[in-house]
Structure 1
Amino acid sequence: MTTSADPKGAATRATGQAPGDAVARLVRRDAALRAVRAFFHDRGFVEADTPQLVPGPGLEPHIDPLAVAVRTDLLSTATSPRWLITSPELALKRVVAAGAPRVFQLVHVFRDGERTARHSPEFTMLEWYRGPGTLDEILDDTVQLVRAVAAVVGNASGVDLSAAVERVSCADAFARAGVDLSAALDETAAGDVDALPRRVRATGDLLPGALGFDDAFFHVMAAHVEPSIGRERLGVVEAWPASMAVLARLDERDPRYARRFEVYAHGRAGSLELCNAFDELTDAREQRARFDDDNATRARLGKPVLPLDADFLAALPKMPSPSAGNALGFDRLLMLLTGAERIDDVLALPWR
């Protein structure tokens, strides 16, 4: 056994953190993981353990999965393409379709090209589904879960977690920024692809000329909506444009919008998007059309076209309707509650 005259210094150089800090971080993370599992088990949820290496990943154009070539025969050089999951969503919905009414999973997920103070290529996702279930039930789960985790790790944010959440639709949030989102959606549907960027520029915001609808939308979100919501209490932005439905159902009362919400809160790292919830689409034909559109967009962006998950599409019509679910960034939640400014500050070991 070797010894060091400066063991603490060596550990700090190896991990980027002092040993005492690392142990405290590990204990805090363990307490939060235990609280999450207790929360869901107490409410009758079953913890699923679905694969992380899959033949068909999520297809969202703005998310890039990591590809892996797998040899299934040690005597052969032939490989089969697989991908590390960007989310357990497709697999968990298959579990719900098979008859499990309440499921959750804590799992490491992987996304290429994502490395910032609040992003890591590998991070922990918490997802849960109610089938049958509603978005209101999922929102209540979310609020109660955040409170349950805060009860064991504390709350270093300025957000009053005991207060009722602030709920605002995308249309109302954009109206506060001086942008008529519904009118822009109508104009875009009529063929005016510059409708939203033009309306955003009319408020005085400077946008590059080449920006499309999505770029202009997320500019308003980042510049106006996210900085103002979730400061004193949890903020919920709901009713997103139909083009951003992903796997969510469209609102039957106003199909310009999808039935999904995101929760935001301000911590020391600034505004944090904590989660993304859907009223789940169970129409396999519509979902396949959306997947095809996603792949077409990927092709236009010069990204690989990805295989569709046939097992997921076959299971989708068997999901109870309505069903609802949520994907919550576990590390983001810890950042909020512990006052961390970087995702590395809440991981057992920082990403290297």
Structure 2
Amino acid sequence: MDALIAPALTWVEGALRPGLALRIRGGRIESVAPLAGTTPDLRVHLAMPGPTDLQVNGGGGVLFNTDASAAGIAAIRAAHRRLGTHAILPTVITDAPEVLEAAADAVIAARGQPGIEGIHIEGPHIAPERRGTHDPRHIRPLDVRTLAVLERLRAAGVPVLLTLAPELADPALLARARALGVVLSAGHSSASADEAGAAFGRGITMATHLFNAMPPLHHRAPGLAAAAILSDAWLGMIADGLHVDWPMLRLAIAARPQRGRCFLVSDAMPTVGGPDQFTLYGKRIRLEDGRLVNDQGALAGAHLDMMTALARLHLLGGVALKDCIAMATDAPRAAMGLAPLRIAPGTPAGAVAVLDAGLGFAGWLDAPG
């Protein structure tokens, strides 16, 4: 597609800019310049880099834990791409060591696929009392077997995000993981504020799905959530209006000492772009009124994609649109040390998302509408 496309708003270098025109030639952006009276081939509402989602358990009917293969990863990414997400970290949750090892093999094999930026290992090194829907049979302390997996992934050049309960981890093993370049995130944890603060001081640089699977804020026991908010760590957030109420997300964003260090995640399960139920640890999880619940009615992951999270955070949560876009695009990539994705000459048009006036995903820049 060769065309001149004129978005009403374009996300460029961390700002929403009106009045620009994007020249597309040979599947890439050739130029970004003021429209300046030129007649475009197409006008659209908003152009932005496709989001990067650091927490994707599944999609398109596929759960990574149960289909830990390059084909499974491709199916998950395809389901999210249809909904406007450009890049993902396939996420393997608490399971048997063999499942983690298979997931690592799958990501190494899939590393050349477009939009596969690494792997998120969420558990099994978590606090049993904060496990959420994770299977308690497989929870265990950080060990040399997991370290061997991390070493293999990093030797293959795969970016790795590891969520664990820092208060339960052997400091020496944590230091070894950190030395490999693994991004360490506090999550599914009962850490006190003091324990969490110490962990952030020792190289934990992130917190996983803030407020969820951690002690609630309390005025005499602030816990991990408060320590994370007041730190300079990167904080992941599930913005579906179900996992966290909007005022709490706004409070956390507003209270950060360093702006721009919150990012959106979907925590998506196979129902995103797929059927309305799936099996997790041999038990049925179903979609009910927008919530994913187990047979006890407890939340079990999220039925959410990044574009929906962005729109809800702005339209329902009252967060400024520019901040929501940054939380879906620039922030997650910076949190993982990934190269930024910019709207600039040379950028593939298929990596740039087009949104309509209601902030719904309207296609990719190489095939808008």
In the superposition, the TM-score normalised over structure 2's length comes to 0.28
* Structure with the bigger percentage of helix: 1
Higher relative contact order, structure no. (Cα contacts within 8 Å, ≥ 6 residues apart): 1
Larger Rg: 1
* TM norm structure 1: 0.29
